[in-house]
Copies of this chain bind each other. A is one copy, B any other.
Amino acid sequence: MKTEKVDKKQAILDAAEKLFCETGYEGTSTRQIAKESGANMAMINYYFGSKEGVFVEIMNERIAGFASQLKIINEDKISALEKLHKVIEGYVNRIMNNTAFHKMMHRELSLTQRPEMYDKIKDAMSQNMQLIDRIITGGIEDGSFNKVDVRMVIATIMGTITNIVIAPHKVMSCSNFDLNNPKDKKIIKERAIAHLQDLTTVYLTTKR
C-alpha cells in the first residue's frame, strides 16, 4: 500500500507524548507507544535509543518552541503595565493551548528521580520568570508600580494559570465541562486573562 506515507518517527513522538501526558512516564509502556503509533516496538529504540530517549526528545522539542515567543514583548516601547498584560495574555494562551503537556511538565517537576529533566524544565521556566521579573522590577523602578514581593507576584501569575489547567473543576462548578472542548476553553481563557490583568493592575498600580 503506497497511499499512506506517514513518518513513523513522528508518529512515535506523537503517540508517546499523548500517553506520557495521560498516564505518566512510568505508567506508559513501550508496547503501548508502539501500538498507539502503529510502529513496531523495535522502532522506538531504533530511532531514539530508549524509552527515556523518546521522553527527552519530546521535552526538548517543546521547550525549544517555548523560549522563542515572549522575548519580543520586553523591547516594545510601552508601559510596564501594558507589557505585563501582554505577557499574561501570551502565557495563558500558550499554556491553555497545550494543557496536556503542561500537566506533564508539572508532574515531572514534582518528581526527584530524573534530575536532568528537572533542571531542564526549571531552566526553561526561569527564562519566562526572569522576563516577568524584569518587567515588574522596571515598573517599580520607574515609579509606576508599587513596591511588592516580585517573586511572589510571579508565583501568583504562574500558579493561577497552572491551577486552572490542573484543577479546572475549581473554576467551573458545572460538571459537564471540558477543557478540551474549544468553546469551553475559549471561555476559561478569556476569564483567566481578564482576571489576571485586573488583579495585577489593581495590586501593582493602586496608590496606597
Scoring A residues 154 to 165 as 1 if CB is less than 8 Å from chain B, else 0, what string do you get?
A: 111011111110
Copies in the complex: 2
**Interchain CB contact (< 8 A) of A203 among B23, B126, B202:** B202
* Residues of B contacting A104 in the complex (Cβ-Cβ under 8 angstroms): 110
Contacts A107-B107, A125-B167, A159-B160; A192 near B112 (Cβ below 8 A)? no
- Whether B27 lies near A195 (C-beta < 8 A) is no
* Chain B residues, CB < 8 A from A122: 167, 169
**Interface of A (DSSP majority class):** helix
Minimal beta-carbon separation of A169 from chain B (angstroms): 6
| Chain B residue at minimum C-beta to C-beta distance from A155 | B163
On chain A, the number of residues with a Cβ less than 8 Å from chain B's Cβ atoms is 50
Which of chain B's residues have a CB closer than 8 A to the CB of A26?
24, 26-27
For A164, give its contact among B111, B113, B159, B160 (CB under 8 Å).
B159
Quick check: is A170 within 8 A (CB to CB) of the other chain? yes
